[in-house]
């Protein structure tokens, strides 16, 4: 073969290799699950990114959610101990501590493991709403791992025309493999049924069998065995949150002044919630020249 032909063949092989490398992503590096207790899932390329410091609030600071706290803790402890446990949907009013409760429950359960020297620590894996379609790939990685995982999605909901909820349904309960025994799924949402009412009504109006179409949408929430509702807090509950934060962070303030300022803050925001209480405490600490760490 002539040298010119060899050079042409080598050039074509180089271009073919380049095209193959573009089409086939490199294999994901092995995941060191001992590197942290919490991870963030990235689907492309598939990777679990360790989180060295989780942005969380201590369980004792979450006021006005006692029943939800106790149920979530009980479910999470059972799961960590290898006992049957449910997927959990935390739904309801904004700013009432839904996501904070999930992270606090994870920390509380792991603290119990550390104190008692029992088994493996529980892992928390956050998946972003826009990556729900990659859940099957995440389950493939977690299924053979020697750990137990809470997969957590914050602010989960679906818009009209979004079919990614079918991936979630299959993973939670309906697929051939089903949910791995070492995984539970926790989600927070402002909606109890995760899908908007107009989407469900549109399905009802256009389907051959309207009842079956709507049932398909509603059944997504049914995959969560435990529903925990969060409702707007009363004035007394809001003030208890403020006082709890102030005491925890050592913010010296006359109680009457603290009450008046906290209520004025809530009035300007047009809402009372755990989030509003925390924002007021941040403002108060700043005015007092005090540093606080959540």
Residue 16, in any domain of the structure: no
Instruction: Verify that 202 and 269 share a domain, yes or no.
Output: no
Residue 122, in any domain of the structure: yes
Instruction: Verify that 65 and 181 share a domain, yes or no.
Output: yes
**pLDDT for res 294:** 61
Residue 4, in any domain of the structure: no
CATH number, domain containing residue 48: 3.40.50.300
Instruction: Verify that 57 and 96 share a domain, yes or no.
Output: yes
Per-residue pLDDT of the chain (294 residues; tens, 9 = 90+): 566 666 677 677 777 777 666 665 555 566 778 889 999 999 989 999 999 889 888 888 888 888 999 999 999 999 999 999 999 999 988 888 899 999 999 999 999 775 544 456 899 999 998 999 899 899 999 999 999 999 999 988 777 666 677 778 777 765 666 788 999 999 999 876 666 655 444 444 444 445 544 555 556 777 888 999 998 889 999 999 999 999 999 998 899 999 999 999 999 988 899 999 999 999 999 999 998 876
Residue 294, in any domain of the structure: no
Domains in the chain, number: 2
Instruction: Verify that 255 and 128 share a domain, yes or no.
Output: no
Dihedrals φ, ψ of 246, to 5°? Answer: -60, -40
Residue 83, in any domain of the structure: yes
The whole domain housing 219 covers 38-230
**pLDDT for res 171:** 75
**pLDDT for res 159:** 72
**pLDDT for res 195:** 63
**pLDDT for res 283:** 95
**pLDDT for res 44:** 87
**pLDDT for res 158:** 76
Instruction: Verify that 177 and 252 share a domain, yes or no.
Output: no
**pLDDT for res 204:** 47
Instruction: Verify that 44 and 60 share a domain, yes or no.
Output: yes
Instruction: Verify that 108 and 243 share a domain, yes or no.
Output: no
**pLDDT for res 120:** 65
Instruction: Verify that 265 and 166 share a domain, yes or no.
Output: no
**pLDDT for res 207:** 45
Inter-residue contact 95 to 273 (CB < 8 Å)? yes
**pLDDT for res 185:** 94
User: Is the pTM value of this prediction over 0.85?
Assistant: no
Residue 89, in any domain of the structure: yes
Inter-residue contact 241 to 57 (CB < 8 Å)? no
Residue 18, in any domain of the structure: no
**pLDDT for res 144:** 92
Instruction: Verify that 142 and 261 share a domain, yes or no.
Output: no
The span from the CA of 104 to the CA of 100, in Å, is 6
Residue 33, in any domain of the structure: no
The span from the CA of 234 to the CA of 259, in Å, is 14
**pLDDT for res 208:** 47
Instruction: Verify that 212 and 268 share a domain, yes or no.
Output: no
The residue from 230, 260, 275 where one domain ends is 230
The span from the CA of 275 to the CA of 96, in Å, is 7
**pLDDT for res 219:** 63
Instruction: Verify that 128 and 256 share a domain, yes or no.
Output: no
Instruction: Verify that 69 and 184 share a domain, yes or no.
Output: yes
The residue from 230, 247, 268 where one domain ends is 230
């Amino acid at each position: 073969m002539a040298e010119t032909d060899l050079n042409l063949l080598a050039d074509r092989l180089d271009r073919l290799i380049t095209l193959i490398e573009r089409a086939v992503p490199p294999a994901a590096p092995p995941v060191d699950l001992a590197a942290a207790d919490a991870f963030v899932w990235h689907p492309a390329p598939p990777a679990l990114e360790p989180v060295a410091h989780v942005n969380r609030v201590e369980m004792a600071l979450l006021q006005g959610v006692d029943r939800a706290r106790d149920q979530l803790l009980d479910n999470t402890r059972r799961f960590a101990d290898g006992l049957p446990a449910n997927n959990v949907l935390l739904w309801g009013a904004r700013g009432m501590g839904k996501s904070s409760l999930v992270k606090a429950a994870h920390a509380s359960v792991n603290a119990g493991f550390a104190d008692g020297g029992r088994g493996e620590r529980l892992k928390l894996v956050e998946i972003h709403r826009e990556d729900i379609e990659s859940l099957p790939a995440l389950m493939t990685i977690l299924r053979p791992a020697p750990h137990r995982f809470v997969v957590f999605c914050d602010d989960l909901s679906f818009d009209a025309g979004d079919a990614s909820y079918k991936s979630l349904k299959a993973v939670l309960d309906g697929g051939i493999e089903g949910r791995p025994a070492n995984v539970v799924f926790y989600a927070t949402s402002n909606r109890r049924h995760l899908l908007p009412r107009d989407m469900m009504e549109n399905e009802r109006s256009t389907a051959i069998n309207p009842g079956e179409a709507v049932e398909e949408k509603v059944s997504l929430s049914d995959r969560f065995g435990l529903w925990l509702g969060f409702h707007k807090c009363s004035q007394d509950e809001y003030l208890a949150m403020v006082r709890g934060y102030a005491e925890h962070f050592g913010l010296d303030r006359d109680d009457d002044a603290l009450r008046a300022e906290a209520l004025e803050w809530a009035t300007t925001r047009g809402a009372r919630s755990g989030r509003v209480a925390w924002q007021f405490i941040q403002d108060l600490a700043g005015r007092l020249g005090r540093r606080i760490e959540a």
